[in-house]
Chain A
Amino acid sequence: DQQVKQNSPSLSVQEGRISILNCDYTNSMFDYFLWYKKYPAEGPTFLISISSIKDKNEDGRFTVFLNKSAKHLSLHIVPSQPGDSAVYFCANQGAQKLVFGQGTRLTINP
């Protein structure tokens, strides 16, 4: 069964610095991963994705890195801004469903 784990429930970063969010996975048949961002009282919003043919994908301030041998991915946000404060979910896309990690609450301090 697909499993996605985010072992850090929270992260606090100073504005302007780099935020690094981590995610580990097991039993993935489909090496396609996504990051979602969630504000309170809203649904998750797609942020960035990466597939197994790449080890890095960049979109503006957001970069996702995939290490297939370690079954690990990370999301880098640089520079971090106050509006980035949210819960970030790593997810693995399976054939019929998206499986989420537990989420990491990112707080950007001014």
Chain B
Amino acid sequence: EPEVTQTPSHQVTQMGQEVILRCVPISNHLYFYWYRQILGQKVEFLVSFYNNEISEKSEIFDDQFSVERPDGSNFTLKIRSTKLEDSAMYFCASRDIGAPLHFGNGTRLTVT
């Protein structure tokens, strides 16, 4: 069964550094998402992406965050200047029209 794949599985970075989290969505899916889960908290929506543009973004997704689909397969989340509170599991998801979201196994981001 096709999967959403995310790399790396764990990223450690220093405060103020830029990070790029990478995702390969399922190939025929049209809608792409990033979510995050801070330890012990709920899974929170960050951004949705369709037709090469952002469809919706949450309050968390401020100017420090950006997303890109640089080619036909990858979907990336960039955090320009990381803060301690950005430490979380980041989940990428994709879906086809009218179908449920399929999630990757996440990238654990640790900001020190």
Contact = CB atoms under 8 A, between A and B. Distances in A.
A57 to B, nearest CB: 13
B103 A99 contact: no
B33 interface: yes
Contacts of A95: 56
Given A49-B100, A96-B55, A42 B42 contact: no
B105 A99 contact: no
Interface in A78-105: 89, 95-103
Interface size class of B (residues with CB under 8 A): 20 to 34
Q: What DSSP secondary structure best describes chain B's contact surface? A: strand
B91 interface: yes
A97 B43 contact: no
B45 A42 contact: no
B42 A102 contact: yes
A97 B43 CA distance: 12
A43 interface: yes
Given A89-B43, A101-B42, A102-B42, A44 B103 contact: yes
A43 B35 CA distance: 10
Contacts of B44: 100
Interface of A: 34, 36, 41-46, 49, 89, 95-103
18 contacts: A34-B100, A43-B4, A43-B91, A43-B104, A43-B106, A44-B103, A45-B103, A95-B56, A97-B33, A97-B45, A97-B56, A98-B93, A98-B101, A100-B44, A101-B42, A102-B41, A102-B42, A103-B42
Given A96-B55, A103-B43, 20 more contacts: A41-B105, A43-B4, A43-B93, A43-B103, A44-B43, A45-B103, A46-B102, A49-B100, A95-B56, A96-B56, A97-B33, A97-B45, A97-B48, A97-B58, A98-B33, A98-B101, A99-B45, A100-B35, A100-B42, A101-B42
Interface of B: 4, 33, 35, 41-45, 48, 55-56, 58, 91, 93, 100-106
